[in-house]
Amino acid sequence: MPLSATNLPVSAYALWCLYRDRWPIEQMPLAAKQMLGAHRAFVFGGESRYRLPELALLAGNVLTYVAATSVAVATGFWDRYCRPTCGRLRRVLQRVDFSAISVPEGPLLKKASVTAHLPKGVQGHRRQKSLITLPADSLPQRRVA
C-alpha cells in the first residue's frame, strides 16, 4: 500500500477511493511512456511539443484497448488469475520474431501528396534562423539636437 499525504479534510477511506479512481486515468499515459518509450523522446519544435504527447496518448490508448481485448497470457506457472494488461502484451510481443513475418510484394501504400518541391535529407530538417523585420514606423525616432 503506498503512502499518501494530503491536506484535504477527508477520511482515510475517501482518500483511498480517490487514489483508486486515479489509476484508470493514468493507464494511457503510463502505457505510452513505459510500453512505447515516449519518455525517451525529446522534441524542440513548437508544434512537435503538442503532437508527440498527443500521438503517445493515442498509441497508449490503442495499446490499452488491444491488451484489454486480447486473451490474457500467463507469465509463468504461478500466474493462475492472469489479467489482460499492457505489460503482458508487451512481453508476448517481445517473443515474436517480426523478421519471420512475410511482407506482401509491391508497395504497401502509395503516397498521394506531392513532395518533389520539399527539401530532402539533412536540408529537410536543418533549422534556419528567421529574420524579424519590423515596420519602419514602429522604430523609435532619434532626435538630433
Q: Quote the CA–CA distance of 104 and 122 in Å, as a whole number.
A: 31
Q: Quote the CA–CA distance of 68 and 84 in Å, as a whole number.
A: 5
Q: Quote the CA–CA distance of 57 and 50 in Å, as a whole number.
A: 11
Confidence of residue 66 (pLDDT cuts 50, 70, 90): confident
User: pTM for the full model?
Assistant: 0.49
Domain ranges for the chain, please list them. Answer: 29-97
Task: Render pLDDT for 3-51 as a digit per residue (tens, 0 to 9).
Answer: 667 787 888 888 888 777 776 667 667 777 777 777 777 777 777 777 8
Average pLDDT over residues 97-122: 79
Q: Quote the CA–CA distance of 124 and 121 in Å, as a whole number.
A: 5
Torsion-angle region of 87 (φ positive above 0: left; ψ -120 to 50: alpha; else: beta): alpha
Q: What percent of the chain has pLDDT over 70?
A: 78
Q: Does the structure show a pLDDT above 70 at 2?
A: no
Q: Which residue in 36, 88, 90 sits closest to 58, CA to CA? A: 36
Q: Does the structure show a pLDDT above 70 at 131?
A: no
Q: What pLDDT is stored for residue 143 in this prediction?
A: 64
